[in-house]
Amino acid sequence: MAARHDLVEDAEVRAGLLTARRGTAFFARKHSELASSDLDAPSLLPGWSRRHVIAHVGYNARAVARLVEWASTGVETPMYSSPEARNREIEFGATLPPVALQNLFDHSAIHLSVEWRDLPADRWDFEVRTAQGRLVPVSETVWMRTREVWVHATDLDNGARFADVPAEVLRRLLADVWGAWEKRGDTEGLALRVSGGADGGLMLGDPGTKATVIEGSLPAVVRWALGRGEEPNALLAATHDGGPLAEIPNVCRWI
């Protein structure tokens, strides 16, 4: 039987699918390195164990797949019936035996990959509604999944670092966070500066005399902006009053 390939023709979407699948494989590797006895340990997300993170990433694949199915069939299939149902699902998943939790992640990831693979080329512009109520082309599901797998791999607290995340993913994460802060009016008096590497010199915000400027490598700045803390000696904060490192505006976490 001949191998089946993605039907999408858009080169940008194809590249995004590759990054999403690489992120899925990276998360799977960090998950597989954990012994069953390690799963009950806290993750980097307050109130969540590693079990919660794994369950969330598994159920997220199912939810994203529902959006792709919606685009394929034209029949509305929301990501979740309600925010409460989503939360109950994660709490239940966190109680699963280790083998069942592994199967949840594996099977849901394969299901989503197949839904993407088989979506006809002329359906990738079809609009679906996210859990936050945004209408987006179904091609946006590729980025939705990409950020989940790469960021949550670090949340497992098992050696994954933001430096392991592809630079193009980090850049888009930072743009998303800054955009969200701007919409809420939380960027006044704050600037982010990326130093070193290919992205050295990237600046978001106005580094005026009254601004707090957060500076560091791209991975360090993104880690801070996502509310995952800061690595020792990885960030500099220049403030107009000599104060401590700025608080994160309305801490932005993807969970």
Q: How confident is the prediction along the chain (255 residues), in pLDDT tens digits per residue? A: 445 899 999 999 999 999 999 999 999 999 999 999 999 999 999 999 999 999 999 999 999 999 999 999 999 999 998 989 999 999 999 999 999 999 999 999 999 999 999 999 999 999 999 998 999 999 999 999 999 999 999 999 999 999 999 999 999 999 999 998 888 888 888 889 898 888 878 899 888 767 788 888 999 999 988 988 877 667 776 655 555 555 555 444 444
Return the CATH fold of 167-238.
Answer: Nonspecific Lipid-transfer Protein; Chain A (3.30.1050)
**Residue intervals in the chain for CATH 1.20.120.450:** 11-160
pTM to 2 decimals?
Answer: 0.91
**Residue intervals in the chain for CATH 3.30.1050.20:** 167-238
CA separation for the pair 248, 255 (Å, rounded):
17
Return the CATH fold of 11-160.
Answer: Four Helix Bundle (Hemerythrin (Met), subunit A) (1.20.120)
Q: Which of 187, 191, 186 is nearest to 239 (CA)?
A: 191
CA separation for the pair 194, 222 (Å, rounded):
9
